[in-house]
Amino acid sequence: MIRGAPSHVDLTVTDLSRSVRFYDQVLDELGYKRLPEAGAGAPCWGVADADGGVFSIALQLARQGSAAEPHDRYAPGLHHLAFHADSRADVDGFHQFLQDMEAAILDAPAAYDYTAGYYAVFFADPDGLKLEVVHEPVLRGRSGPIQGA
């Protein structure tokens, strides 16, 4: 487990059953498993690293008055959520998976100049939350600390 790494994230959704169906598929494809004992009663999925550290994602139902407002990733709050992929081929395969499930693709797989070798697909959940699956070789397989400025 990496000290300071995220432990969990809760995502607010407008339709719990619709979002559970979406995230069941997407998170299962990424290796997450349902965690009925976690999430404080909310639907929850988790994935573990080689040291047994767990990262989990849970869904929370939006308040009734705010459910009609679309997600604005440029307002304060979450801009997008990215998931690691093992290779460019893994990103391409995930893109095909998204097409098969008829998910909303925001940007097909492409290389980006964020870091050397960055390759990603961007898509949206049923509420418009931007998600990404990315192969970023610069940050894969590192041992030791990351050097800062």
User: Over the stretch 1-53, which tens digit does the pLDDT of each residue have?
Assistant: 566 778 899 999 999 999 999 999 999 999 999 998 776 788 999 999 888 88
**Interatomic CA distance for residues 113 and 67, integer angstroms:** 35
Domains of the chain (ranges, CATH numbers)? 1-63 (3.10.180.10), 78-140 (3.10.180.10)
Residues 69/18, Cβ–Cβ less than 8 Å: no
Q: What is the mean pLDDT of the chain?
A: 89
**Interatomic CA distance for residues 134 and 93, integer angstroms:** 12
